Structure 1
Amino acid sequence: MASLRHLSIITVAAATLLATSCATENGAKNSAPPTAAAPSSGSPVAGGTLRLVGSGDVDHLDPTSIYYVVTIGIMRGYSRQLFALQGVAAGADTTKGYEVLPDIATELPTEANGGLSADKLTYTIKLRDGVQWDTQPPRQVTASDFVRGFKRICNPVAGSGAPGYYTSTIKGMAEYCDAYIKAFEKAKPTAKALADFQNGHDIAGVQAKDDKTVVFTLTQPAGDFLNILSLNFASAAPQEYDQYVPDDATFRQHVISNGPYKITSYVATKSIKLEKNPAWKQESDPIRHQYVNAIEVKMGVAEPDAVQQQLEAGSADLSWDLPVPTAQIPRLKSNDPNFTIYPGAVTNPYVVFNLQSKNAGGAMGKLKVRQAIEYAINKTAIAKIYGGADVATALHTVIPPGNIGYQEYNPYPTPNDQGDPAKCKQMLSEAGYPDGLTLIGAFRNAGNHPANFQSYSADLKKCGITVKGLPLRQGDYYTYLQTPSHAKNSEWDLSAPGWIPDWYGNNGRAVMQPLFQTNCNAGTSNYGCYSNPKVDDLIKQALAETDQAKAAALWHQADQTVLGDAVMVPLNNQNTPLYKNKRVQNALYLPSYQIYDVTNLWLNPNTP
């Protein structure tokens, strides 16, 4: 989710972890959790307002384009998919959180129930009764709404951050998306023009058989297709969305819910409020509940310490988008039952290069300059910013441990992962920059991100690279990176986002495809517009390979090729420390998003 999907896991050994790709604030490491809060007991308590506090805004509110995990957290309350994941209690087997379950779909499609064809190319999915849009009057969610949702995935204004999941699997999707992008290369993307294109063009492999049946036809078997259908990009879209430009300011004031909550107030950079959706029915939703009366997000608190103080004092319940303060982790770990460290398998943070930039004589387009930076950065220092070994360890590969295709190797070794300024200087000189150069580094102005920027900037300064900071608001950050015009206009040269694979299990495509497959369109998660036909071909081969061991080898080859091109610097693999106020009960952890499920917790006491 930039990802954004960007990226903000798991109590099993690394050998059994198989990896969700989203943009993230917080991170993970594949080891047993140092602490684990006890699961809640007792009967649910209804009522109260769940209060989240933090720094920045959402990346998007349109389910088609959301890719920031904290936004996904509240979107879970107002947007449902055909299939979904469930949260798990602290201390429980988190692999249960990888399991795809029916949501709006009535059941998992199999050959036995007629939902999956013998050649595994056709999925026939029946929709659940009683799932309704919060319209006046409430209206049943139909198969045509899902068709409309899929047609919005590659819209040229605010499209999905991972369109490749769909163009590489669904028959006719690539052709539809190519035509959509081409149609608006010069034409203005007004709401009417976008709707006219969508309503006048079909996707061969996405069809509404009737109001209650949607049929997907694939180009080749895809064992992870249900995972792809569980992502928010695959959400249904009501007909009213044709009236708006995707995710623009007007759209954000007219979001329509089919979940247990609906957005009743959104003030950009200030607040969001969700209240109970009267059109939602518990009997139609096997995943979510409606325990709390409302969910409020207050923005503008940029310091993790300030958020932590509110959580412990009882004036807030959960952090919105900021991590547990690093200095507080030893104290909380030793004696606070409301603190948990969840292990994971993520790439957070990593440095990405803008290959489109013309700054410093097009330095970012030169391999030896990028390789010099690979050697320069002190990964151990970055890990300390997040809390040291309990929370983060140095990462050397594109695919993190616990994900299909991971094999440990280190193409840019430095002593104790602390950087090698001399090697960096040598390579800069070989690249034609003996006197150094100046670059622009974009970073989030909240949480640990200013410290990250200061750390890697200091490392680069040691070998002659001056990095000028470009601070961005937390909620704007991934949207900025996902807008290719900023890259093409040389507004930034390097940045340090994070990435959580979009699902765990059979997830080979959930790292390489969104981050490194050729895609320089709006909404991309390939922020620097990297393009290598060899990588594209390896991705294609891996996706077609039915033997998992052979597929893993192909993903590893793609990993080696990407790092050979030095288009990113993997920094850390992180655990996720989370803290909740003591009144938050039944806090179920969503491994794929590194957050608690707001649609399943309750408050005791439930006032205020």
Structure 2
Amino acid sequence: MGLTGLTACGGGGSDPESAAATTPQDGGTLRIIGSSDVEHLDTASSNSTGSYGLNRTYARTLFGTKASNDFSQTIPVQADVAARVPSKENGGISKDGKTYTVRLRKGVQWNTQPPRPVTAGDFVRGMKRLCNPASPSSGKGYYTSTLRGMDGFCHGYAKVNAKDAHAMAAYQQKHEISGIKAKGDDTLVFKLTRPASDFLNLLTLQFTAAAPKEYDKYVPDGPDFRQHTISDGPYQIVAYKPGSSYTLGRNPVWRQDGDPLRERHVEKIQLTLGQDSPAAVQAQLEQGAADLAWDQPVPTADIQRLRQARDDRFSIRDTPSNSPYLVFNTRSPAGGGALGKREVRQALEYAVDRTALIKIVGGPDVAEPLRTVIPPGNSGYNAATRYATQGEAGDPARCRQLLAQAGHPKGLTLKFPYRVNSVHKLIAESLKENLDACGVKATLIPDSGGSFYGSTLSDPAKAKSGAWDIAAPGWSPDWYGNNGRSIIQPLFDGRTYGPGSTNYGGYDNPQVNGLIDSALTASDPSRAAGYWHLADQKIMEDAAIVPLLDRSHPIFHSSRVRGALYLPTATGYDYTRLWLAH
């Protein structure tokens, strides 16, 4: 997000370390308000920052990361349900780096009637659910390219009837993934196709959460599933009204001594949706009518005021990301398949005025212009000057000239769906204005139903039919540290294109796919970073996307919130760690 030094800038907020001096008080209801429901609630397929923050309260993984207001503290892999972090030194990782043995800690339970322990088999089930045909994980490429037998298992699973929960459960029960084995109830053995220096990072992702046997009854992420989530974390969902609200209460079987990453202080978490105005959300937080924003950053208009006032409820937190970026639907029939031509996409790289976008999101304290796929602070980042324009303000004349050379002297007409929450509408309008100056008419289509990712961008049939041509999604890496694959692979590996994929534009270049493989098999993180950098250069040469901003996250909490610790991957505070002053 534009902060190469990765030190928190901004007005403080209740820092962990200062809050730690005060004893947390238990009780009260944490009130969170925002705009849209999650696109997926099922951990197998959920892949948004909002869903990650919510999943963390009731679904646990083998490993995880700690919330902290010091970015560097949020990077190391920590044990969660695993009893310890395996290494070659402690015998958890084999000498050749291809076998990982993970032992589970005792005392972690499901909130079932009666309660029962979370087992190694529950983690195997969770991994198998990643490639269910009803709501497949956009992150499954991480695992199919790493774990023995996962790719074949997923290919077979894709042929099962996506509406038949019984058929899906039967497939999972009858077919094994050779690279994931439960040895008894408390040990898991993972076998990799080749060493992967980031494998433990992959096991921190919510996709890999344990799944209880009860989930076999439901179509993954279907309406029935969403009403029957089961918890092994500190909270449980006690009421859910789709698109409207969530109520979380305490999970009676959770124990603090069995959970090194979470705590539990508030009695209840109330999440209320349907509030599309960032200004209205901010007003409620400042007045004390709500405590945290769900999916709305602090409105741009308020950032300067809060900074000048040194308001300790306000902070700008490090969240290195590519957010937003402009993606081209390379499969669209628009303009005779214009966006499938590299020369057309290269012309449009010159259209964008990044300075206008920086003003929209809050100024240079919050964002910097980005011209690479990989943002600063991530593995493989190197600054670049390709498509540079004077003062980052765009060059419409050059754009028109290149568009004419590419066979479109009269420009193009493109469909541009956009999200209505936060500043997305303003960003879309600014980009539309830039494209107009370049001779491209962008038709803006508001998406107020929360289907922007789940059913618009991630549906290849909609891409092929031309339901959309360009869009401005955002991407925060799934983890930080040794994380080149958490940006390049999910967004640009052409072999993972399909339903649920985050390679929204259907970009596919065999050279880039080959560089991904070279990075994944590199002997150490620094060699991998070199390959990720080469892949970034190639993707930008192909103009698969227009990177726009490297953004930090302006965040605010109410006066009664204490001990707020930041999770960069959730772009929010950890709900399980904070407490309320009564």
TM-score after normalising by structure 1: 0.92
CA contact (8 A) 2:354 2:549 kept: yes
User: Which residue identity is paired with 2:445?
Assistant: L
**2-side partners of 1:474 and 1:372: how far apart?**
32
**2-side partners of 1:43 and 1:397: how far apart?**
44
Matching residue of 2:442: 467
Matched, 1:96 2:73: yes
**1-side partners of 2:65 and 2:180: how far apart?**
23
Question: For 1:537, what is the secondary structure of its paired residue?
Answer: helix
Matched, 1:290 2:280: no
Matched, 1:159 2:136: yes
Q: CA deviation at 1:551?
A: 2.0
Q: 2:360 aligns with which of 371, 385, 393?
A: 385
Matched, 1:395 2:370: yes
Q: CA deviation at 1:38?
A: 4.5
Matching residue of 1:432: 407
CA contact (8 A) 1:57 1:476 kept: no
Q: CA deviation at 1:504?
A: 1.1
CA contact (8 A) 1:31 1:344 kept: no
Matching residue of 2:82: 105
Question: For 2:131, what is the secondary structure of its paired residue?
Answer: coil
Q: CA deviation at 1:484?
A: 2.2
**1-side partners of 2:463 and 2:487: how far apart?**
21
Matched, 1:14 2:34: no
**2-side partners of 1:513 and 1:175: how far apart?**
19
User: Which residue identity is paired with 1:356?
Assistant: R
Looking at both structures, which has the greater relative contact order when contacts are Cα pairs under 8 Å and sequence separation is at least 6?
Answer: 1
User: Which residue identity is paired with 1:310?
Assistant: Q
Q: CA deviation at 1:343?
A: 2.8
Residue deviations 1:124-166 (CA, integer Å, cap 9, x gap): 1111111111111111111111111111111122111111211
Q: CA deviation at 1:31?
A: 5.6
Q: 2:522 aligns with which of 545, 565, 568?
A: 545
Q: CA deviation at 1:588?
A: 0.5
Q: 2:93 aligns with which of 98, 116, 122?
A: 116
**2-side partners of 1:474 and 1:70: how far apart?**
16
Matching residue of 1:407: 382
Matching residue of 2:241: 267
Q: CA deviation at 1:288?
A: 1.1
**1-side partners of 2:38 and 2:162: how far apart?**
25
**1-side partners of 2:29 and 2:449: how far apart?**
24
> Equivalences for 1:253-264 in 2 at 5 Å?
253-264=227-238
**1-side partners of 2:43 and 2:524: how far apart?**
33
**2-side partners of 1:296 and 1:328: how far apart?**
25
CA contact (8 A) 1:88 1:588 kept: yes
Matching residue of 2:50: 70
Question: For 2:274, what is the secondary structure of its paired residue?
Answer: coil
Matching residue of 1:359: 334
CA contact (8 A) 1:442 1:472 kept: yes
**Structure 1 alignment gaps of length 5 or more:** 1-8, 16-29
Matched, 1:60 2:34: no
Matching residue of 1:331: 305
User: Which residue identity is paired with 2:4?
Assistant: A
CA contact (8 A) 1:446 1:474 kept: no
**2-side partners of 1:549 and 1:320: how far apart?**
36
Q: 1:226 aligns with which of 174, 183, 200?
A: 200
Matching residue of 1:505: 481
User: Which residue identity is paired with 1:377?
Assistant: V
Q: CA deviation at 1:35?
A: 2.6
Matched, 1:82 2:62: yes
CA contact (8 A) 1:68 1:478 kept: no
Matched, 1:421 2:396: yes
**1-side partners of 2:515 and 2:286: how far apart?**
49
CA contact (8 A) 1:156 1:521 kept: no
Residue deviations 1:390-409 (CA, integer Å, cap 9, x gap): 11111010111111111111
Q: CA deviation at 1:282?
A: 1.6
User: Which residue identity is paired with 1:516?
Assistant: F
Q: 1:484 aligns with which of 443, 460, 465?
A: 460
User: Which residue identity is paired with 2:463?
Assistant: A
CA contact (8 A) 2:123 2:209 kept: yes
Q: CA deviation at 1:430?
A: 1.4
Residue deviations 1:50-109 (CA, integer Å, cap 9, x gap): 0001111111110111111011111110100001111114xxx32111111111000111
Deviates more, 1:423-432 or 1:199-208: 423-432
Deviates more, 1:161-170 or 1:308-317: 161-170
CA contact (8 A) 1:227 1:503 kept: yes
CA contact (8 A) 1:98 1:591 kept: no
Question: For 1:471, what is the secondary structure of its paired residue?
Answer: strand
Matched, 1:299 2:299: no
Q: CA deviation at 1:188?
A: 4.8
**2-side partners of 1:55 and 1:428: how far apart?**
38
RMSD: 1.4
Q: CA deviation at 1:474?
A: 6.3
Question: For 2:216, what is the secondary structure of its paired residue?
Answer: helix
Matching residue of 1:128: 105
TM-score after normalising by structure 2: 0.96
User: Which residue identity is paired with 1:326?
Assistant: T
Q: CA deviation at 1:434?
A: 1.0
Question: For 1:525, what is the secondary structure of its paired residue?
Answer: coil
Alignment length, in residue pairs?
575
Q: 2:421 aligns with which of 415, 439, 446?
A: 446
Matching residue of 2:226: 252
Q: Tell me: CA distance 1:43–1:85, structure 2 relative to 1, closer, same or farther (3 Å).
A: same
Residue deviations 1:396-429 (CA, integer Å, cap 9, x gap): 1011111111111121111111111111111111
Deviates more, 1:517-526 or 1:312-321: 517-526
**1-side partners of 2:492 and 2:183: how far apart?**
35
Question: For 1:125, what is the secondary structure of its paired residue?
Answer: strand
CA contact (8 A) 2:27 2:265 kept: yes
**2-side partners of 1:402 and 1:474: how far apart?**
33
**2-side partners of 1:281 and 1:31: how far apart?**
34
Q: CA deviation at 1:488?
A: 2.1
**1-side partners of 2:444 and 2:265: how far apart?**
44
CA contact (8 A) 2:14 2:563 kept: no
CA contact (8 A) 2:162 2:168 kept: no
Q: CA deviation at 1:32?
A: 4.8
